[in-house]
Structure 1
């Protein structure tokens, strides 16, 4: 997993997740930095156990995640399946990422 250059910023993943979970990628720092969203989305997927899924909740300021996130994820991380879930009440977007047959 990558490390933030700012020690005051807590990473989206702090441990391995062996059950399905959600990664909050809609903090103000995510709104300001689309590359950070992509980096932490990859970290979240890599921290998710095979056979489960992670919901990536991305900031609404970036719009739907397919154009800027999906191709990068599919070309970087093997064995995943992506599904757009919905727009959440706070304005963000939810992408469900199944890891190695988690669907």
Structure 2
């Protein structure tokens, strides 16, 4: 069962002028991979140039390279760089997105 995006709080409501982490591994995220992509894009948009956001994604969706990297690269082009950091002990994944320009 998929939840409408408007029923789930945004991953952030502020612009981050520092490096930070976005939690995309709640039960709602596990049920809605489209929301994961949408909120990941929003998190990157709210990260200032010169900083990075760690996108912590749910294990249910597998490695983020299979569903997250392409939409991020389409949205931001060469203004970001992606770095897979690790798989968490809980099974989730951490992808670091650097804002280059």
TM-score (normalised: structure 2): 0.91
Structure 1: which 5+ runs fail to align?
Answer: none
2:6 matched residue in structure 1: 5
CA drift at 1:5: 2.0
CA drift at 1:87: 0.3
**Superposition RMSD in Å:** 1.0
2:37 matched residue in structure 1: 38
1:58 matched residue in structure 2: 57
Between Structure 1 and Structure 2, the one with more helix by share is 2
How many residue pairs get matched? 96
Residues 1-103 of structure 1 mapped to structure 2, 5 A cutoff: 4-6=5-7, 9-78=8-77, 79-100=79-100
Structure 2: which 5+ runs fail to align?
Answer: none
TM-score (normalised: structure 1): 0.89
